[in-house]
Amino acid sequence: MGKGYIAVVGQHKISGHKCCVVNVYAGCTQKEKKSLWEELSSFKDSSQITVWCLCGDFNAVRRRIERQGAGTADFKSEIKGFNGFIESNMLLELPIVGKKFTWYKPNGVARSRIDRVLVSEEWLQCWPMCKQYVQKREVSNHCALVIKCLDKDWGPKPFRTIDAWHLERGFEGMVANRWKSYANHEDNIIGLKEKFKLLKADLKIWNRDVFGNLNSTKRIIL
């Protein structure tokens, strides 16, 4: 438990997966949000658990369009910081179903999408069909979010990278060398798939060894 969050660690009874679910209620100021991001990042980085779900009121948006009716306020710092937190922790946002906004001012003048569900890649490997469903707003100014997992196969998840990797000296050379080290396969399509699978595993190790916890490691790129 910390300022702005409560975390519960447990084992999923059916699958046996050990996972961590974090309920978030962020403060209003940028200082409070930044402190929360740093504490959650340190907590996640120090944990041996890989199956994570962070959900609740982050009090931050990822895009300017997610806040409407907020006047001329500039949210660039908030957006950059929040997206940086998500990217550095290799989190993914579940697809949203229902309303586009999750918070509404009582008079209806302003609305925002400040509530959301973020999960680790390992969570999606366990429950690949998870989505976040926005419920009707009733008593609270916030809409409740419900996570549902429907068993429908949409195909393999896309291969993804982090932009900061490409700015790191030696990254491209490392990728080229690792790619050459993988054995070729008689079937080119299957071989390509297997190579991407091996590269994905190597990139996760490289990211952990080189970057570590991005909120505690200061890097200056010239």
**64-95 per-position pLDDT tens digit:** 999 888 665 678 889 999 999 999 999 999 99
pLDDT, position 183: 83
Q: What is the DSSP string of 79-124?
A: HHHHHHHHHHTTEEEPPEES-S-SEE-TTSS-EE--EEEEEEHHHH
152's tokens: 């429908």
Q: Give the H or E element holding residue 169.
A: none
C-alpha distances in Å from residue 12, one per residue of 20, 21, 173:
10, 11, 40
Of 28-32, 143-147, 159-163, 174-178, which gets the smallest average pLDDT?
Answer: 159-163
Dihedral pair phi/psi, residue 19, rounded to 5° = -140, 165
Domain ranges of the chain: 5-149, 163-210
Q: Report the DSSP pairing between strands 5-11 and 51-57.
A: unpaired
Give the DSSP letter of residue 142. Answer: B
Poorest-pLDDT segment among 54-58, 69-73, 110-114, 160-164: 69-73
Biggest alpha carbon–alpha carbon distance for the chain = 65
Contact 49, 18 (CB under 8 A): yes
HEC states along 22-50?
EEEECCCCHHHHHHHHHHHHHHHHHCCCC
pLDDT in tens, 113-124: 999 999 999 999
Give the chain's mean pLDDT. Answer: 86
Give strand pairing partners of 111: 68, 104
**Range with the poorest average pLDDT among 15-19, 118-122, 167-171:** 167-171
**Does position 108 have pLDDT exceeding 80, yes or no?**
no
Is 219's pLDDT higher than 60?
no
pLDDT score at 31: 93
Mean pLDDT of 197-211: 85
Beta bridge partners of 117: 55
| pLDDT confidence band for 152 (50 / 70 / 90) | low
Report which listed range, 60-64, 66-70, 184-188, 215-219, is most confident: 60-64
State the pLDDT confidence band at 15, using cuts at 50, 70 and 90: confident
Q: How far is CA 8 from the centre of its chain?
A: 18
**C-beta atoms surrounding 169 within 10 Å:** 7
Give the pTM.
0.68
pLDDT at 20: 97
pLDDT value of position 158:
64
Written as six digits, the tokens of 119 are 């999960």
Q: At the topology level of CATH, where does 5-149 sit?
A: Deoxyribonuclease I; Chain A (3.60.10)
From the number of C-beta atoms within 10 Å of its C-beta (0-12, 13-18, 19+), residue 36 rates as buried
